[in-house]
Amino acid sequence: MKSLAKIRKRLSRCYELAARAMLNEADSDQWVLVHGSGVNPGHGERLRHAWIELNDGRTYHADIDVYEPTDWFMAHYQVQVEHRYSRQEACALISATRCYGPWTDEERAANKSVPHLGKVRDKMAKTPMKTAG
């Protein structure tokens, strides 16, 4: 991802970096931001994660800068999808919550009443964001 190319410290920043790619990449209108969880095969623990499903059958993991086939990723890590967001939905939630995610049921419900926010990216580029922890 061009917009993330200069980022070096990525570990534990999957929600932030996936959201930033959705905000800043030219093709992101065709992608889906996904929040969910997967099982780490090394130790069997289920971990929360954010990733992007591209329109070519691949998944992008911004926190490790890796692309892999979506079908393989879903099966290998026993993925459970919690929520899927279009670019428009992600931009509206980021703008409303000032957070890259994950978002609560209340935040998603409140966002449904918010009209399309237009070029949120330009406004947001000037304001520091927080990451839920």
Q: Which residue has tokens 């957070």?
A: 99
Q: Which residue has tokens 């237009």?
A: 118
Asked whether residue 133 is domain-assigned, the answer is no
Structure tokens at 120: 């949120």
- Strand extents, DSSP E, the chain: 32-39, 46-53, 58-61, 66-69, 80-85
| pTM score | 0.81
Range of the domain at 27: 2-124
Asked whether residue 106 is domain-assigned, the answer is yes
Asked whether residue 8 is domain-assigned, the answer is yes
Backbone angles phi, psi at 85, to 5 degrees: -135, 135
**Residue-wise pLDDT tens for the chain (133 aa)?**
877 878 889 888 999 999 999 999 999 999 999 999 999 888 899 999 999 999 999 999 999 999 999 999 999 999 999 999 999 999 999 999 999 999 999 998 887 765 544 444 444 444 555 555 4
Domain total of the chain: 1
What is the CA 77 to chain-centroid distance, rounded? 17
Asked whether residue 118 is domain-assigned, the answer is yes
